[in-house]
């Protein structure tokens, strides 16, 4: 039972981290694309890469934090 609960907590941490990272990455990518005057359709690619990268990093770290907290009994 504890293993399922731990796995659910890690999955939730990765999902929340991915959502927050994706939102932050989209805002930051849009800002940077406008700031650096990225031409034409390259803006969409730039924003997408920033969004995916931020979502992956935030999800990884929030999932790792959830894994660390899984073993602690508060």
User: What would the pLDDT profile of 57-71 be if each residue is shown by its tens digit?
Assistant: 999 999 999 999 987
Residue 73: pLDDT over 70? no
Q: What is the pTM of this model?
A: 0.86
Residue where the block lists tokens 């694309």: 33
Tens digits of residue pLDDT in 6-41: 899 999 999 999 999 999 999 999 999 999 999 999
d(CA 53, CA 21): 8
């Amino acid at each position: 039972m504890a293993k399922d609960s731990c796995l659910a907590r890690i999955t939730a941490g990765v999902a929340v981290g991915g959502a927050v990272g994706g939102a932050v990455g989209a805002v930051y990518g849009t800002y940077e694309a406008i700031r650096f005057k990225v031409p034409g359709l390259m803006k969409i690619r730039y924003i997408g890469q920033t969004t995916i990268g931020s979502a992956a990093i935030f999800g990884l770290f929030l999932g790792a934090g959830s894994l660390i907290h899984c073993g602690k009994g508060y």
